[in-house]
Amino acid sequence: MTALEQRSGTGAPRFDAIDERILWLLAADARMPNNRLAAEVGIAPSTCLARVRALEEAGVIRGYSADIDISRLGFAIEAVVSVRVHAAARHELRAFAKRLLRVPVVRDVSFIAGEKDFLVHIACSSTEQLRDFVADELSGDPSVAATQTNIVFERLVADRRGQAASFDELRRWHA
C-alpha cells in the first residue's frame, strides 16, 4: 500500500491540496530541486520528497521528460495522421499501435473515439520521408482502411510556470 493509499484509509489514492500543488509545480518545471519545491508548497524538504515518491509509486507521476525542439535536430516537418482500421482488424488495434511506436519518426499514438481509430504524431526530415511513412507504414498495411495527413504549421504548448492552478480550477473549467 502506497503512502497515498494509506492517507485515504480506503486503499484508493487520496490527494490533498499539497499533492496537487506539487503536481502542478513539477508539471511546469520537472527539474525543480526538492528544497525549492518544498519551499513553494510550504512543507519540509523530507516531507516533500516523501510525497513526490508516493506520487511516483502510485503511478500519478509516470516520469520526467525534456521538451525538445525537434526542428533544431533536422526534423522540419511534423504531421498528425488520422488512421481508420478495417473492422475486421479491430482485434489488432493495440498491436498496431505498439508497432507504430517502434517506427523512429513516430512521436506518439493516440487511440481516439469517432470515425478514426488513431492519431499518429510524427516528425520527419522531409516531405519525402513523410510520404514514405504514410505509404509504407500506414497505407501499405492491410489492416488500414484510410488515412488523412495533416501538416502541423506550428505547435503551441501551454506554459504552466508560475500558475497557481489547482485541480479544482481545472474541474470547474470543464464543468
Q: What is the pLDDT of residue 27?
A: 87
Residue, of 155 and 149, whose pLDDT is higher: 149
In the chain, the percentage of residues whose pLDDT exceeds 90 is: 69
Provide the residue ranges of all domains of the chain, joining segments of one domain with +.
Answer: 3-65, 70-152
Task: Quote the CA–CA distance of 103 and 106 in Å, as a whole number.
Answer: 6
Report pLDDT digits (tens) over 26-83: 988 899 999 999 999 999 999 999 999 999 999 999 999 888 888 899 999 999 999 9
The confidence band for 1, taking pLDDT boundaries of 50, 70 and 90, is very low
For 140-174, give one letter per residue: b (16+ CB within 10 A) or e: ebebbbebebeeeeeeeeeeeeeeeeeeeeeeeee
The three-class DSSP label of residue 50 is: helix
Task: Quote the CA–CA distance of 55 and 39 in Å, as a whole number.
Answer: 18
The matching CATH number, chosen from 1.10.230.10, 1.10.10.60, 1.10.10.10, 1.10.1040.10, for 3-65 is: 1.10.10.10
Q: Is the pLDDT of residue 111 over 80?
A: yes
In the chain, the percentage of residues whose pLDDT exceeds 70 is: 83
Q: What is the pLDDT of residue 33?
A: 96
Maximum average pLDDT range among 18-22, 73-77, 81-85, 171-175 = 81-85
Question: Running DSSP on this structure, what letter comes out for residue 115?
Answer: S
70-152 fold? Alpha-Beta Plaits (3.30.70)
Q: What is the pLDDT of residue 172?
A: 64
Q: Is the pLDDT of residue 2 over 80?
A: no
Q: What is the pLDDT of residue 163?
A: 59
| Amino acid type, 58 | A
Q: Is the pLDDT of residue 141 over 90?
A: yes
Q: Is the pLDDT of residue 135 over 70?
A: yes
Poorest-pLDDT segment among 58-72, 105-119, 142-156: 58-72
Print the SS3 string covering 83-104.
EEECHHHHHHHHHHHHHHHCCC
- Give me the helix-helix angle, 34-41 and 17-28, nearest 10°: 130
- Per CATH, 3-65 and 70-152 having the same topology is answered no
Q: Is the pLDDT of residue 175 over 60?
A: no
Task: Quote the CA–CA distance of 78 and 153 in Å, as a whole number.
Answer: 8
The structure's pTM equals: 0.73
Provide the mean pLDDT of the chain: 87
